[in-house]
Amino acid sequence: MRNGGARRAMAAAAACGFLMAALAACGDTRTEVRHGDVPRPGGPSGTARPSSPAKPTRIPGVGERMWQRIPLGTRQIVAVYGEGENSPDSTLVLYEKQGDSWQENGSWPAHNGKRGWSAHHREGDERTPVGVFSLSDAGGLLDDPGAKLPYTQDEEAFETPYYWDENHWHDFDYVIAINYNRVPGTRPDDPTRPLGQKKGGGIWLHLDHGDGTLGCVSVPGSAMRYLLRTLDPESRPVVVMGDKASLRA
């Protein structure tokens, strides 16, 4: 067991406060195949029936530029729709691919960085990076709730610093690391920053405390437990996040 004070300091420095400019992409270029229902003969008269509503072949609110960054094999998308470039308020929606169409499978209120979003993020700017990032590793202060992602439970590593406000004491009960300037396949609090410290890091999904974060995305505890039990490495989950205008561009 490592020294508690040192670990808490490392967790505080790594988690949610010191971030980087938005990573260009987290996946392959994809060509979207569009599907639609074709009217069929309606019976003996041969009249056509009205076509059924087309099933969504991509998630709403995401433009071509961002959509091209999603890996072809991805079947789970966590979309974070920010209310505005400078707003800490957002909505998180889980989408899962069924056949060739995407279905919504949960929606929750969320918060992002106190100062909003950035496509050119820097350490300490209190903004959340805009982009598409893979999700591969989880952990937390509490025992594994049944996560499908690799889960690291560590009471010292994920304990919030004693000087933080009481509202933040449970922020890291559960976390999912967002692969932004980090090494996928390592525990969420790994301090390695492949693009350098100035680019920031330690961007997580974690429990909400009712206000903006230092750069992470926060959701209610029920949402974190659901995401941990649902996100599956075999589905190559990613997070697509940013203010609504940036996502649509």
Q: What are 83's two structure tokens?
A: 């209310």
**pLDDT band per the 50, 70, 90 thresholds, residue 39:** very low
> One of 111, 121, 168, 206 is an active-site residue; which one?
206
What CA–CA distance (Å, rounded) separates 243 from 249? 10
DSSP code for 214: S
What CA–CA distance (Å, rounded) separates 247 from 79? 10
- Is pLDDT of 42 > 90? no
What CA–CA distance (Å, rounded) separates 165 from 22? 29
- How many other C-beta atoms are found inside a 10 Å radius of the C-beta of residue 1? 7
- How many other C-beta atoms are found inside a 10 Å radius of the C-beta of residue 230? 19
Q: Which tens digits make up the pLDDT trace of 56-106? A: 999 999 999 999 999 999 999 999 999 999 999 999 999 999 999 999 999
First-last CA distance in the chain: 47
Q: Which tens digits make up the pLDDT trace of 201-222? A: 999 999 999 999 999 999 999 9
What CA–CA distance (Å, rounded) separates 21 from 133? 13
Domain ranges for the chain:
64-248
Whether 16 is catalytic:
no
Whether 216 is catalytic:
yes
**pLDDT band per the 50, 70, 90 thresholds, residue 15:** low
Percentage of the residues of the chain whose pLDDT score is greater than 70? 79
- Is pLDDT of 155 > 60? yes
- Is pLDDT of 5 > 70? no
**pLDDT band per the 50, 70, 90 thresholds, residue 17:** very low
Distances from the Cα of 38 to the Cα of 32, 55, 135, 183, angstroms: 19, 12, 37, 46
Domain 64-248 has CATH 2.40.440.10: yes
What CA–CA distance (Å, rounded) separates 226 from 205? 12
State which amino acid sits at residue 233. Answer: P
Q: Which tens digits make up the pLDDT trace of 123-136? A: 999 999 999 999 99
DSSP helix/strand/coil, 129:
strand
Model confidence, pTM: 0.81
224-234 average pLDDT score: 98
Give the total residue count for the chain. 249
